[in-house]
Amino acid sequence: MMENCLDIGTIQAFVDGELDHGQSARVSAHAAICNACSLMLAEADDQSALVFSALDREFNTLVPTQRLWNKINDSIVTERESRPFWQKAYAFLTVALVNPSFAAAASLLIVIGIFSALWINRTPDTANITRTDLPNTQPVQQISPATLSATRDSSAVPDNESTATPAPTYRVERAAFRPEPRRIVSQPAAITASVTNSTGYMPGEESYVKTISSLAKTVEEQKDGGIMRPSERIAYERDMAVVNDSIVKMRQEVKRNPRNESAKQVLYSSYQNKIDLLNSVTQKEDLLVSLK
Amino acid sequence: MTKIIEKLISFIAVAIILAGVPLLVLSQQRPPATHAPPDVLIGVPKKGLYERPYVGERDTSEKSIKADSQIIVELCVNQGKVKVNGWNRAEARVYVSDGNKFVFNVREKSAKTGDPNWVKVIGSDTSKGMYPKGECISANEIDIDVPINATINLRGHEITTDIDSVRKVEIKIAGGQISLRNIANGITAYAGQGGITVEASTGPMLLDSTNGNIVIFEARPAELGDIFRAKTTGGTISLQGLEHRQVEASSISGSVVYGGQIRNGGSYSLTTNKGSIRMSLAINASFQMQATYRAGNFNSELPIKLQTENIQEGPIKTIVGKLGTGDASIKLTTNNGSISIRKL
């Protein structure tokens, strides 16, 4: 027996499906390598099967248990928390606009807002700008470059003339400025390719991972739907733990030595096994549905 | 003056928005707590996936139909023992003991003979309405006799199946044992929770079990190129007297055992993730072998000439060797187990 063997409470909770996903995975992984615990697991499974068969009629009456309600409520809370902000806002508006008073008030607010925006951002009158100069300012003279250079070179212009001229006062007007829309420039292909390479997958591995990912989603829904008996569930989790363990070890080995063809072969074989294992659940589900 | 008006309008607009939105939010009625039972019960086991259907009044009946020699017989069985036997008559007979009634549904007739060459056996409801809806038969025992060249297409729930002396079998059951004997031209079998045994059969074979063992005694190809593929997740695969040239056997947490000839030009792939691989081969066999294992060992009683051994560093060990002229190719892979080759 190993030091960190499972206690009977944990095993029973595992058989009853009361552990969360992480704990279940840990129990499965441990049971896969510990004979004593797998024996205890099998015994607990047998006992559960006996009890389940005796209570089969009660279990099949479709009366949701308290545990089920807790699960439902938990999943509702989780779903609410994980919902993005825009969905919440959309839901709020959808519900709120049903109320006529709210709709009227919202419309009023929108009208006021639009009116205010138009008023504040109205286009400035260019003619008015030129005439807003104060009366004592000099009219602007067009100076040619030649005149300008001559003026610079000439020292005949008395200094007191410029100093005597009163400094013009200017009124600051809001400029009608609109930023140019940002142009999105597509990244060069080389950069994209380097990102793809940086995912760390070996050639061909990504397709396995994607297939497994999509299958796993389906299977996670199906296996909690009563398709598997406790004994089948244990066997499934055990086999999954074996395959996952193999994948992890082989990936480490391939990462350490990318030229190790044998490790790659075992890794791909393990991926294929995982796909087969996941497929076995969907295949069974399909068969049972076709028999209904 | 204009500036003052502008500021005033801006202030009013902002004040209305700031004050109005919270007031409107507060004025909304809060929706009632939605912890009432939803229409669809999430997580409730689907009723009846493993539930034995209510059969009600049981009956014993027998029916027969004239049949083409290459008839396809299709049926679905919910529970019971199914026994199919081939005979030398142009007739199909179905005997149901202690089960629901059934009818023959003729799907197609032969253009040559005019006899049915595709028949579906369908469970029928009684006038009392006590039998389960659907096409599946529930019975204690179902005996079927069909022409020896018939094809059997069987789907089942929890059944024990025994099929003997027919041309072809396609079977898919959720649980129970499958035994097949003297099948002439191919087998496709899937057992969700149970084993598959094949004996003295020929043709391509695709055998798939989830948690059962797969056992083969004497199987050979009907044509060149017929493949043999056996796959189980948690069971052992035992192949004895297999003569196919293309053999693939894989298990996840079970052992793979092979005993018999190695055909010239054949390709043999035996794989397991957690289990041992044992081969018993004749001393005069000729093959090129690659054995890959991680935790375990390799031993051979045959004088295999090693070509390379563990050329890569790391936990994975690979042995490449050759016996005779190396006509066949054998690939043995186990992640956690030993590989052994013995004399037959």
Using CA atoms, how far apart are residues A248 and A29, in angstroms rounded to an integer? 12
**Cβ(B244)–Cβ(B228) below 8 Å:** yes
Q: Which residue has the tokens 């593929």?
A: B229
The answer to whether the CB atoms of B253 and A62 lie below 8 A apart is no
- Predicted pLDDT at B49: 44
Both tokens of residue B288?
Answer: 């090129």
Please provide residue B225's backbone torsions phi and psi, each rounded to the nearest 5 degrees.
Answer: 100, -5
Using CA atoms, how far apart are residues B270 and B251, in angstroms rounded to an integer? 9
Using CA atoms, how far apart are residues B75 and B171, in angstroms rounded to an integer? 10
Mean pLDDT to the nearest integer, B129-156: 84
Both tokens of residue B107?
Answer: 């799907």
The answer to whether the CB atoms of B314 and A227 lie below 8 A apart is no
The answer to whether the CB atoms of B318 and A262 lie below 8 A apart is yes
- The model carries a pTM of 0.61
Q: What is the pLDDT of residues A52-105, one digit of tens each?
A: 666 665 555 555 566 677 778 888 877 777 777 777 777 777 777 777 777 788
Q: Which of A71, A99, A105 is facing B20, going by the closest CB pair?
A: A105
Burial class (CB in 10 A: 0-12, 13-18, 19+), B192: buried
The answer to whether the CB atoms of B312 and A276 lie below 8 A apart is no
* SS3 of residue B95 by DSSP: strand
Of residues B211 and A125, more confidently modeled: B211
Please provide residue A66's backbone torsions phi and psi, each rounded to the nearest 5 degrees.
Answer: -60, -35
Q: Which of B24, B211, B273 is facing A105, going by the closest CB pair?
A: B24
SS3 sequence, A50-102? HHHHHCHHHHCCCCCCHHHHHHHHHHHHHHHHHCCHHHHHHHHHHHHCCCHHH
- Predicted pLDDT at A190: 40
Q: What is the pLDDT of residues A22-63, one digit of tens each?
A: 888 888 888 888 888 888 888 888 887 777 666 665 555 555
Nearest to B339 by CA among B301, B282, B306: B301
A276-to-A21, B55, B152, B301 alpha-carbon distances in Å:
21, 35, 26, 33
The answer to whether the CB atoms of B312 and A261 lie below 8 A apart is yes
DSSP, res B234: S
The answer to whether the CB atoms of B34 and A120 lie below 8 A apart is no
pLDDT band, very low/low/confident/very high, at A180 (cuts 50, 70, 90): low
The answer to whether the CB atoms of A246 and B336 lie below 8 A apart is yes
Nearest to B300 by CA among B269, B330, B267, B275: B330
Task: Say whether pLDDT at B108 is over 90.
Answer: yes
- Predicted pLDDT at B162: 96
pLDDT band, very low/low/confident/very high, at A232 (cuts 50, 70, 90): confident
Using CA atoms, how far apart are residues A80 and A68, in angstroms rounded to an integer? 18
User: In B, which residues are within 8 Å of A99 by CB distance?
Assistant: 28
Q: Which is it for strands B305-309 and B317-323: parallel, antiparallel or unpaired?
A: antiparallel
Nearest CA in chain A to B154: A291
Given CA atoms B143, B153, B165, B194 in this order, what sign does their dihedral have?
negative
Q: How far is A143 from chain B (nearest CA, A)?
A: 36
Which residues, including other chains, have CB under 8 Å from residue A34's CB and lie 6 or more apart?
Answer: A1, A2, A5, A6
In one-letter notation, the amino acid at residue A257 is N
Using CA atoms, how far apart are residues B257 and A107, in angstroms rounded to an integer? 78
Q: Which residue has the tokens 């003619």?
A: A127
ipTM over 0.85: no
Using CA atoms, how far apart are residues B83 and B69, in angstroms rounded to an integer? 19
* Structure-derived torsion over alpha carbons of residues B33, B36, B40, B42, reported in degrees to the nearest 10: 80
Using CA atoms, how far apart are residues A283 and A277, in angstroms rounded to an integer? 10
Q: What is the pLDDT of residues A248-277, one digit of tens each?
A: 888 888 888 888 888 888 888 889 888 988
pLDDT band, very low/low/confident/very high, at A150 (cuts 50, 70, 90): very low
Of residues B184 and A167, more confidently modeled: B184
Task: Say whether pLDDT at B132 is over 60.
Answer: no
User: In B, which residues are within 8 Å of A260 by CB distance?
Assistant: 312, 314, 316
Task: Say whether pLDDT at B70 is over 70.
Answer: yes
- Predicted pLDDT at A38: 83
Using CA atoms, how far apart are residues A38 and B286, in angstroms rounded to an integer? 41
pLDDT band, very low/low/confident/very high, at B26 (cuts 50, 70, 90): low
pLDDT band, very low/low/confident/very high, at A169 (cuts 50, 70, 90): low
Using CA atoms, how far apart are residues B208 and B182, in angstroms rounded to an integer? 19
Residues 62-81 of A with CB under 8 A from B: 62, 64, 68-69, 71-73, 75-76
- Predicted pLDDT at B263: 92
